[in-house]
Amino acid sequence: MTRKINCWEYMGCGREPGGRHAADKGICPAAVDRSHDGTNEGTCAGRFCWAVAGTLCHNRVQGTYAGKQEDCLDCEFYLQVRAEQGSTNIRTKFLKFIHPFAASPILNHLEPVQIPGGARFITQGSRTSTGYIIQQGACLELVENEHGLHPVGHRSEGDVVGMISLLTGEPMGFHVEAETDLEAWAIHKPDFDRIPEQDPDLYAFLTELVADRFDRNGPIAERRIGPYLITDIIGKGGYSIVYKAVHLDLETPVAVKMLRHHLSMNKEFKDNFKNEARIIAGLDHPHILKVYDITSRFKTVFIACEYLTGLSLEEMITRQHRIPSDLARSFLDQLLSAMAYAGNKGLVHRDINPANIMVSKDHPIKLIDFGLACPVGTDDFMMGGNLHYLAPEVFDGEPADFRSDLFSLGITAFHTITGRLPWDAVDSGEIMKQIRHQPLPDPGKQVKHLPGSLRQFILKACEKNPDKRFQTPEEARKWLMNATDFGPDPVRRSGPVLLPGRYCCMSSGQHETRDALPGRHMDIAAATHIGHQRKTNQDRYLTCLENHSDPENHDFALLALADGMGGAIGGEIAADHVIKHLLGLSLQDDESPLNSLKRFYRKMDRDICDMADKDPYLNGMGTTLVCAVVSNNTVFWAHSGDSRLYLLHGDHLTRITRDQTLADFLIREKQITPDQAQTHYSRQVLEQYIGCGELAVQSGRFELAEDDMILLMSDGCYRHISLDTIITTCRQTTDPATAADALIKAALTEDGSDNITGVILTLRTDV
């Protein structure tokens, strides 16, 4: 989405904070008036400047909004904002309800009206009997108090005014005056009340109407639900719209869910829902979303609940493809604990699937929408979205119980560890047929080294006959806790992957991985280990041998090591992203490999920044990256962060890269010594990394001689073994795979508090 410019950017007045004329002419009030922040998608009053007194336009200080109104209505910037906001609203808001060819009872009651500019057509404190949809023109919302009139909002094409008062009978909190001549559609209260409640267009209209009230661009007074102030929209679904809000007294964030009117206006559902919601609000469990409040307003129901940060399990699976078995077991244990707690209160969830499971930064689980996702006794598949996870008996009209929830949990576990759903049909009828009659694919055949107990858990939970499943969450949890075959995923040896002209090995987050690539002129090996304390392995490596003209003679090599940062999920995503994109880096370009590497680093820096900007949970994520391209006996290298590249020539070990940490800067400034840096906090503070946004890439080249080795090492490896140990270990063997294994074991013995990774290339004596 294109960012909308503010008035000081359009006018070039330089009176914004830090602007070129802010010191001598003063800061423009529109640039600091936070009460209008977000109006017309602007910063402060940057796109509502005509309502702010004291602005500077055309080198003249303006008066009050009323005094400058005539000039502002002819301003090019004002007309541009009107055009931009009007086109947005027409596409997305209420004029879609009055399409000339639409057939809806709502349209039968709309009356075209014209309102002259300057006219006040809604009065503060009145209970209006007419609401308006603006077709052309704009109006101001003005609060009147003892100090006079104060603009608080702006409405233009596609917006509505007065409708909430029409719906609820509440008095208006402000005046509404036509800023320009208005053409609008009016609907009067008696006509509005005669629209049949079963009309689906009415449901959609009411939902859009109330959602418009909570638009971030609207006045604060309109964005309150009890003690909560709506600040942003989180998401929209088929049944609800979810907002981020803040409790005004406690100043704590909450999430507020507004049910869509096609559910809330069903009296039977609404009564059942509110009764059950009161029970759910009494639940207090660390793995169940906490519900704070339930209230009815605007002919619908609002639920205020705990505001969560993190990813849904569905998003996590999409990003990581599959979840390691020990982490999946941890998720299952937490979910079963939540289900057992709710079960003791007589509740079942009825909608367990990865989208309703939230994973926070350190992997605690929250089960959301507990009992809120569908009406009591209603089949979820009739409401869409979760068909793949439903138990077969639910399709036959049987009420949901613990066993059907456990079936859904079993399918969720299958999806979590395999990265795919067990049913491949697309048509709803075919999916139901497969769930009823097709055996569940054996997860042990989908995932190598899957613990037998996890395989048995999934198969038992997903039995077609409910009597053959676990009968309660307590039984399932106890069975899982007694399993003894869980632990870190075993060592993976992937073997080389053949790409066009290239043989590659790549790690992807396993607890322990080793790979070797023997070539004619050079040998490569890599190894990684999760260490003793980390829950995930955020280190990634890539090794490639290449020769486009003769695949048997590998004249080129690419080595890379990335160490993710910014939380387990963010670090893994960042490291995965750069390593996978390196697979497409050409090693035989017309230009120098250094130029290709530096261009790649800058592209990855932008990619990671963009990903973090789009997902607040990934804020701060990034990765180190050290790469080496070996062409015959020349090494071209690039580096960002604190992973390292070494050259071992004879018995002399030379560190090629410089750590881009605060400690390195302090050493160069002679504020600390290298010995002090070993324990100084600043060695953990990176000044440069992929994702920092202002990347300065280190790069260079050097020559190799026969029997030379180059080593790429993560900080979890080199920090805990001495240079003498590295030299001795590598010179005790000519096999880089043996040397890499020995270095990993040495780091594990000395510390093992971090992920440990090493990549080694040896130039053969026959070069």
On whether 257 is known to bind a ligand per the annotation, the reply is yes
469-475 own/partner pairs: CB under 8 Å, 24+ apart: 469/403, 469/406, 469/407, 469/410, 470/403, 470/406, 471/402, 471/403, 472/340, 472/343, 472/402, 473/336, 473/337, 473/339, 473/340, 473/343, 473/402, 473/405, 473/406, 474/336, 474/340, 474/343
Do residues 174 and 219 make contact, with C-beta atoms less than 8 angstroms apart? yes
- Token digits of residue 567: 């939380």
Do residues 564 and 574 make contact, with C-beta atoms less than 8 angstroms apart? yes
Do residues 271 and 310 make contact, with C-beta atoms less than 8 angstroms apart? no
In 3D space, the residue among 215, 199, 84 whose CA is nearest the CA of residue 138 turns out to be: 84
Q: How far apart are CA 308 and CA 3, in angstroms?
A: 27
Burial 38-71, CB ≥16 within 10 A → b, else e: bbbbbbbbbbbbbbbbebbbeeeebeebbebbee
Q: How far apart are CA 741 and CA 747, in angstroms?
A: 10
Q: DSSP letters along 447-460, please?
A: STT--HHHHHHHHH
In 3D space, the residue among 756, 253, 208 whose CA is nearest the CA of residue 533 turns out to be: 756
Write the DSSP symbol of residue 545: E
347-351 own/partner pairs: CB under 8 Å, 24+ apart: 347/276, 347/279, 347/280, 347/283, 347/371, 348/400, 348/401, 348/402, 348/404, 348/405, 349/373, 349/405, 349/408, 350/374, 350/380, 350/400, 350/404, 350/405, 351/380, 351/386, 351/408
Q: Which residues contact 158 (CB under 8 A, 6 or more apart)?
A: 86, 88, 89, 90, 91, 92, 93, 94, 95, 133, 134
- Cα 266 off chain centre by: 34
Q: How far apart are CA 373 and CA 351, in angstroms?
A: 7
Q: What residue numbers does the annotated binding site for ATP cover?
A: 257
Q: What residue numbers does the annotated binding site cover?
A: 257
